[in-house]
Each structure stands twice: as structure tokens, then as C-alpha cells.
């Protein structure tokens, strides 16, 4: 059973550019959350998707947007990249119906903005 998979694993972008990160949830999971982990910090919640809609959002600007597809996979888009957006971006999935609070994480995408 494949767990949560994210692509790409590493990415280098220039300030002002746009980036799209992708996530496939664990089999059987229908809810995807995205987290940003800056260096030396714990993961911070960006937003959560369920039934193709953003359900909850953390304290992140509108430059951060997302999407969920009918197969439950998800994308995170960041526009107008800033140096401070450099971080590890983690995707987590869980089974909302089962109210399973145990989120399963992917290995992350390391984004470097130069």
C-alpha cells in the first residue's frame, strides 16, 4: 500500500515565480492537508481539502492556493514567490469519515526560492 506521495522532492525557483506541488493521499484517505515547515520550526498548517473544497485555512496569504481532484489527490500553488517561502512542504492525508486524527505524512517537497 503506497503511503502519501509527493512530487517533486526538490525544487528551486526564482523570486516572483509560481510553483505547483503535488500530493497523492494514502489509499482510502479522502482528506488532504498541507503544511509548511520552515528551517528549525515545526510544520504549520496551510489549508485542508475535502470533497474538492478548501475546508479550513491557516494563517497564510492568498498567494497560497490549492486544489483537490476527484481522485482525492491535491495540488498546492504558490504565486509571487518570496525568499521566505523557502521551506519543506508537507502533505498529510487522513480518513475524514473515520474521524481519524492520525495524519499520515508524505516525505515532503523541499522548495528553495533564490
Partner 1 sequence: DQQVKQNSPSLSVQEGRISILNCDYTNSMFDYFLWYKKYPAEGPTFLISISSIKDKNEDGRFTVFLNKSAKHLSLHIVPSQPGDSAVYFCAATRWGNTPLVFGKGTRLSVIA
CA distance 109 to 87: 8
* Residues in touch with partner 1 (CB under 8 A): 4, 6, 31, 33, 35, 40-45, 48, 55-56, 58, 90, 92, 96, 99, 101-108
Residues in CB range of 99: below 8 A, 6 or more apart = none
- Read off φ and ψ for residue 85, nearest 5 degrees: -80, -5
For partner 1, the closer of residues 42 and 84 by Cβ is 42
**Residue 16 beta carbon to partner 1: minimum distance, rounded to whole angstroms:** 28
For partner 1, the closer of residues 14 and 101 by Cβ is 101
Residue 84: strand, helix, or coil: helix
**Residue 90 beta carbon to partner 1: minimum distance, rounded to whole angstroms:** 6
Amino acid at each position: 500500500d503506497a503511503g502519501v506521495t509527493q512530487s517533486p522532492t526538490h525544487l528551486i525557483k526564482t523570486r516572483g515565480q509560481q510553483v505547483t506541488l503535488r500530493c497523492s493521499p494514502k489509499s482510502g484517505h479522502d482528506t488532504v492537508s498541507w503544511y509548511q515547515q520552515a528551517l528549525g520550526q515545526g510544520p504549520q498548517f496551510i489549508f485542508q481539502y475535502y470533497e474538492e473544497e478548501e475546508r479550513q485555512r491557516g494563517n497564510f496569504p492568498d498567494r497560497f492556493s490549492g486544489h483537490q481532484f476527484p481522485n482525492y489527490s491535491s495540488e498546492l500553488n504558490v504565486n509571487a514567490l518570496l525568499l521566505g517561502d523557502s521551506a519543506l512542504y508537507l502533505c498529510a492525508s487522513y480518513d475524514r469519515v473515520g474521524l481519524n486524527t492520525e495524519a499520515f505524512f508524505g516525505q515532503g517537497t523541499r522548495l528553495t526560492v533564490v
